[in-house]
Amino acid sequence: MDKVKKHFQEEADVFDARVLKAVPFYNDMLEALVSTIPCAPEQKIKVVDLGCGTGSISKKIKEHYPNAVITCVDFADNMLKIAQDKLAHYKDIDYVLCDCRDFDFSSGYDAILSSLTLHHVREQREKKDFYKKIFAGLNDNGVFYAADLVLGSNDYLQKLNLEKWGEFLARSLSKEEIMEMKGRYDEEDHPFRLMDEISWLKETGFLTIDVVWKYYHFAVYGGEK
């Protein structure tokens, strides 16, 4: 995890430009993520943005839910600083510098969202435990959704996922940049099969679980308490 933290600490300044080249349809994916909040736009909902990075998800939340009270959580303070600048003119946003697995969810949330972060949790046991913590932190009818990397259900589908991702990367990155990105993927990223994620959410007690968006290696999935 230290390596992941160091990587985001060092690359905070270039993150926003790079993510558009690294993640297919990044903006559509974030729109899909934020659209899962089943509330009226004027409601004063309480939301956590886990691994908020430079604040793009929270910005979208505020655009759709201007009265939302948001807690942005990230363990890389350089990312959190950019989020603070990006969101400076919005009120009711708190910034918490910590590992999201140590975050105290006890005040109760209507929505817990996370984008491109939870694939850094390496172990299945740890992920399941974290889902339990998230579930406990939701108010009744609250929702948890993640936008994240996922594995295909068999080798053929996983190969297809990687090929399609590679095709996307080749549109705007050099061969060297792609090699570097894939090297980092092998070392730092630990996605699980989407279908396993779904079954862990079910085991945790989530209801109306769904996948609201998917493009090969990337999906938006979650459920309701």
Ligand X SMILES: C[S@@+](CC[C@H](N)C(=O)[O-])C[C@H]1O[C@@H](n2cnc3c(N)ncnc32)[C@H](O)[C@@H]1O
Smallest distance, ligand X to C-beta of residue 156, A: 27
> Between 7 and 164, whose beta carbon lies closer to ligand X?
7
Smallest distance, ligand X to C-beta of residue 155, A: 26
**Cα angle for residues 180, 79, 3 (degrees, 5° grid):** 45
Check the CA dihedral 147-151-152-153 and report its sign.
negative
> Between 10 and 163, whose beta carbon lies closer to ligand X?
10
**Cα angle for residues 210, 192, 218 (degrees, 5° grid):** 60
Residue nearest ligand X (C-beta atom): 53
> Between 190 and 193, whose beta carbon lies closer to ligand X?
190
Q: Are 149 and 121 in contact (CB under 8 A)?
A: no
Smallest distance, ligand X to C-beta of residue 222, A: 14
Smallest distance, ligand X to C-beta of residue 26, A: 8
What's the rounded Cα separation, in Å, for the pair 149 and 82?
23
Query: Interface with ligand X by CB under 6 A: which residues?
Result: 4, 8, 19, 51-53, 56-57, 73-76, 79, 99-101, 115-117, 120
**Which residue is it, tokens 């862990």?**
200
**What are the phi and psi torsion angles at 121 (to 5°)?**
-80, 115
> Between 19 and 209, whose beta carbon lies closer to ligand X?
19
> Between 53 and 223, whose beta carbon lies closer to ligand X?
53
What's the rounded Cα separation, in Å, for the pair 173 and 18?
10
Smallest distance, ligand X to C-beta of residue 15, A: 7
